[in-house]
Amino acid sequence: MGLIDPTKHSDKTLSYAKAFAQGGADFIVIGGSLGADGEVVNNLARTIKEKYSVPVILFPGNVSGVSSEADALYFMSLMNSRNPYWITGAQALGAFYVQKAGIETIPTSLLIIEPGETVGWVGDAKPIPAHKPEIAAAYALAGKLLGHRITILERGSGAPGPATPEMFKMVKSVGTTVISAGSCRDLKDLKSVILSGADGVHIASMIESAANPLEKAKRVIRFAKSVGKKKISSR
């Protein structure tokens, strides 16, 4: 899943979209914690849909991050926020618009794992300690019982790596679909999170830092899918 923050690299977003679409990504995810909203999101989602056949999912940082141009959005609750606005408030404010827009909603638990970085600060999270997978599993199970279909483990952009293999394993054990939200620095990290339980992975920085984003995207996505296929075939 190729993640694009349209405010982080505004002059390069379309080149990243091309890299993900032509590189074989199953989805393109649009979102960011600071300013990824309004016409910026609308224009990017619309352009991607016009140029490529890859479904677009929104990863909204707030109510203003919703766009009728996308195919779907994570209808998220930041489960370990200290502020009820990020648990149910923003969701209530955006609910009528989301319904009117007619896009698919994916009930989602967002868990912020330390250090949390920008998304943790903006969302007033109480970050889950990286060495306490049982806490993440408890939140994931609570989300599942509330009707959420996906759990996202997010350490924040710029974190030193993804959540631990133990955390992915324990969260997956409660019977939820698990997404690793970025922080994979290399193919080793990618392989680790997939084999540990991740059903999907957001990739961004590995492509953003590449001299040739398209070729890097092809290589990374091909590798991720091969690891996933081997995991499935070994069950």
Overall domain count for the chain: 1
Read off the CATH number of the domain in which 26 is found. Answer: 3.20.20.390
Q: What is the structure's pLDDT at 157?
A: 84
Q: What is the mean pLDDT of residues 16-39?
A: 92
Q: What is the structure's pLDDT at 7?
A: 82
Segment 76-134, tens digit of pLDDT: 999 999 999 999 999 999 999 999 999 999 999 999 999 999 999 999 999 999 999 99
Rounding to the nearest 10 degrees, give the CA dihedral for residues 90, 31, 164, 108. 40
Q: Which domain holds residue 103?
A: 2-233
